[in-house]
Structure 1
Amino acid sequence: MLEVIDLFCGAGGMSCGLRSAGLRIRAGVDFNKLSVETYRRNFPRARGVCADVKDVRAADLAALLDRRRPFVLAGCPPCQLFSQLHRASRPVGEEFGHYLRLLWALRPDYLVFENVPRIVSYKKAWERLLNRLRQLGYHVTFKVVSSETLGVPQKRKRLVLVAAKSEIILSDPDVRSIKTVRDAIEGLPESDFSIPNHVTMKLSPANLARIQATMKNGGRSKMPRSAFDDSYGRMRWDAPAPTITTRCISFSNGCFGHPEYDRAITVREAALLQGFDRDFRFVGGVWETAKQVGNAVPPPIAQWLGENILRHFRAS
């Protein structure tokens, strides 16, 4: 069985999808304490390590693995690190350098990550990563995919990358599997504190009046092409949701109004729209958990990546 160490794991979206594909999750590493608490709660058989990547020793991670088994190094430095390095005059940014250090020392059988498509525009960092992978003898494939074609009920374009020690090809997404907001969140009550993370944010009087005046099922409270035409709107039941961000529970920060109820979506609903299972629980306050959800790798994307890796491994 393939084992996984997940760097920059956040709440565990990547690990969640790889686990669903049949990989064994050994450890997740992140510097955010509450994200790691979420990770530990949902991956009780894995080690949740709260640490900055610069303080992580490759030997400590290797000790968590059965080195007789092949393993996957998952996770990618946040896009901000690529941006900082792209602008920096020094050869490599500190955290990015430590990521490459761990990659070089661990020599995983597979490397996998997803990120925003614009990451390739940070040419200095992107080429540094690709060159290091080639130096280690990896074959690299990457492509931009639309989340909705991979079973995520949400419009979200992501760049995915897989590196292996022999040529690997990513399968084409199944466009017949597109899911909608209705598929994900219909049936959840307007408010129910017994449902984990299903907490309704209180609207200001102005925003309450605004959403009450907004047509249900896809309506907008602003005229198109206005300064706020991407905010103050409701989701549409029978279409994928807009991109879930770290501000996804705020009616004024995107089209995050519930299709029917006079409120923004909850963290639980946002998690379902990211493709998390209903029993996945997030630890922390409302804004902190919303941030965990918005920053997460949608698990269905990770599952598809894991299935591609397993297919390649079994054929090797």
Structure 2
Amino acid sequence: MSDKKLKVLDLFCGTGALSYGLTQSNPSLQVVGGIDLNKSASKTAAKNHPDAKVICDDINNFTATQMADKIGASQVDIIVGGPPCQGFSSIRPTRGQGLEDPRNFLYKKFVDYVATLRPTAFLLENVVGIIGANGGELLNSIILSFHNIGYDVDWRILNAANYGVPQKRERFFMIGKKRSSARTSIIRFPTPTHSFSGRVIGTKVKAKYIQHPNDGLPAVTLWDALSDLSSLKSGQKSDMYAHAPRNSYQIVRRAGAPEKLLLHQAANHSPKMLEVIKHAGHSKSCLPEGMVSSGYSSCYSRLEKDEPSTTITVKFTSPASSKCIHPIDDRAITPREAARIQSFDDSFVFCGSKTDIASQIGNAVPPVLSGAFSEILSEILASKPAVEEA
């Protein structure tokens, strides 16, 4: 492949984590543009993609052609993105029932951009719940939409822990490749590099779930990710590392980081919550009977030190809402610790309020996971046909 930069457009970009992971893994990929409706997330994306034109607006306000004009790129090589999916998120008890939610049809805008800009490849990311939405009809509609505009597609469910992320986060990924012959292209997915035997949500569609349980590198554990960060009490903060990095994960996350550590500040818990936290174990059932009266089984519980974390949500500072209590300290994890679990580099800059930043971290695609796709997409670009067939 030539030294020419391959142009990436990031739709529904949020923090830009999906494209950030790709470009960190492959410098030949260059993000030229992005769009997201969220103001603080757009600022974050712009800060970490300084050479890209990041637009804060509703994507429905722009045609693909107008977007190309705005970002100054009439042609892009890859389109990536995760259309909003709140109507069928796997953490919602009513998932799959609210398909009238207009956010569930923003994938059509993604299809429209692909149809107009004709990238050689695309990468679409979403929650696992998309595969069962409306009995599978939604996913079938998405696949047919891409087929009708001349793209071969395939999809898999990946677990981030199998790719070096210290988190058992399962996500849906679809790869699309511009059709170059009457024969359907075979699309390859990233080969897992790490193994673990912990519990997962999984899916009934076993053939589409990529697993690597028996060999490979050991999974990166929670403590592998956090052990160089200072111990804190409720309400405390620190801008210093506890000591030098202890493993390769920490070395990579700290490369290029500012001298002072950012976002390592613990939530200030009430006396009642601190009493609950002191008794917390692996699940809510570890608490003395009657101590709490509500919450899911995973609430009010500690993260396990010696295995990958459970999925980090936007509520990672609230033990009443998620499994987020530090494995040793009596407090919820800090935004810096959550960012580490999500595989963000310490040099990655977050913009906005504490609530904004928590949402950005919890909603993001782990950059190390998205980075696993860089080689696959580069292969597709390298095999690009000289002339596109109709």
TM-score, L = length of structure 2: 0.73
Aligned amino acid, residue 272 of structure 2 = A
User: What's the secondary structure of 1:202's corresponding residue?
Assistant: coil
Aligned amino acid, residue 296 of structure 1 = A
Q: Tell me, yes or no, if structure 1 residue 186 matches structure 2 residue 250.
A: no
Q: Tell me, yes or no, if structure 1 residue 15 matches structure 2 residue 28.
A: no
Instruction: Please give the alpha-carbon distance, in whole angstroms, between the structure 2 residues aligned to 1:223 and 1:274.
Output: 31
Q: Residue in 2 aligned with 1:308?
A: 376
The structure in which a higher percent of residues are helix is 1
Q: Which of 43, 48, 61 is equivalent to 1:42?
A: 48
1:66-215 map, 5 Å: 66-67=73-74, 71-80=77-86, 87-88=99-100, 95-122=106-133, 123-166=136-179, 167=185, 168-175=187-194, 176-177=216-217, 178-189=219-230, 190=232, 191-193=237-239, 194-214=260-280
Deviates more, 1:236-245 or 1:188-197: 188-197
Deviates more, 1:133-142 or 1:76-85: 76-85
Instruction: Count residues in correspondence.
Output: 311
Instruction: Please give the alpha-carbon distance, in whole angstroms, between the structure 1 residues aligned to 2:37 and 2:373.
Output: 25
* Cα deviation 1:98-151 (Å, max 9, x = unaligned): 333323222221110221112022234322221121112211111111110011
Deviation at 1:212, TM superposition (A): 2.5
Deviates more, 1:122-131 or 1:244-253: 122-131
CA contact (8 A) 1:196 1:281 kept: no
What percentage of residue pairs aligned between the two structures are identical? 30
Instruction: Please give the alpha-carbon distance, in whole angstroms, between the structure 1 residues aligned to 2:276 and 2:84.
Output: 35
User: What's the secondary structure of 1:73's corresponding residue?
Assistant: strand
Deviation at 1:195, TM superposition (A): 2.4
CA gap 1:207/1:154 in 2 versus in 1, 3 angstroms: same
Q: Residue in 2 aligned with 1:59?
A: 65
CA contact (8 A) 1:81 1:95 kept: no
CA contact (8 A) 2:8 2:30 kept: yes
User: What's the secondary structure of 2:19's corresponding residue?
Assistant: helix
Q: Residue in 2 aligned with 1:279?
A: 347
1:177-256 map, 5 Å: 177=217, 178-189=219-230, 190=232, 191-193=237-239, 194-214=260-280, 221-222=286-287, 228-256=296-324
Instruction: Please give the alpha-carbon distance, in whole angstroms, between the structure 2 residues aligned to 1:128 and 1:86.
Output: 16
Instruction: Please give the alpha-carbon distance, in whole angstroms, between the structure 2 residues aligned to 1:241 and 1:72.
Output: 31
CA contact (8 A) 1:197 1:282 kept: no
* Cα deviation 1:220-257 (Å, max 9, x = unaligned): 64279x96431112212211011000101212222211
Q: Residue in 1 aligned with 2:6?
A: 2
CA contact (8 A) 2:36 2:42 kept: yes
Instruction: Please give the alpha-carbon distance, in whole angstroms, between the structure 1 residues aligned to 2:283 and 2:173.
Output: 33
CA gap 1:119/1:235 in 2 versus in 1, 3 angstroms: same
CA RMSD of aligned residues (A): 2.6
Q: Residue in 1 aligned with 2:251?
A: none
Aligned amino acid, residue 371 of structure 2 = Q
Aligned amino acid, residue 173 of structure 1 = P
Instruction: Please give the alpha-carbon distance, in whole angstroms, between the structure 1 residues aligned to 2:192 and 2:383.
Output: 20
* Cα deviation 1:39-94 (Å, max 9, x = unaligned): 111111111110111012312332336557x511100311136778973399x976
Aligned amino acid, residue 19 of structure 2 = S
Instruction: Please give the alpha-carbon distance, in whole angstroms, between the structure 1 residues aligned to 2:128 and 2:365.
Output: 13
User: What's the secondary structure of 1:35's corresponding residue?
Assistant: helix
CA contact (8 A) 1:222 1:229 kept: no
Instruction: Please give the alpha-carbon distance, in whole angstroms, between the structure 2 residues aligned to 1:81 and 1:230.
Output: 22
Instruction: Please give the alpha-carbon distance, in whole angstroms, between the structure 2 residues aligned to 1:214 and 1:163.
Output: 45
Instruction: Please give the alpha-carbon distance, in whole angstroms, between the structure 1 residues aligned to 2:11 and 2:301.
Output: 35
Segments of 5+ residues of structure 2 without an aligned counterpart are 89-94, 180-184, 195-215, 240-259, 385-390
Q: Residue in 2 aligned with 1:258?
A: 326
Aligned amino acid, residue 56 of structure 1 = F
Larger radius of gyration: 2
Instruction: Please give the alpha-carbon distance, in whole angstroms, between the structure 2 residues aligned to 1:89 and 1:292.
Output: 22
Aligned amino acid, residue 159 of structure 2 = S
CA gap 1:84/1:143 in 2 versus in 1, 3 angstroms: closer
Deviates more, 1:249-258 or 1:55-64: 55-64
Aligned amino acid, residue 116 of structure 2 = A
Aligned amino acid, residue 52 of structure 1 = D
Q: Residue in 1 aligned with 2:246?
A: none
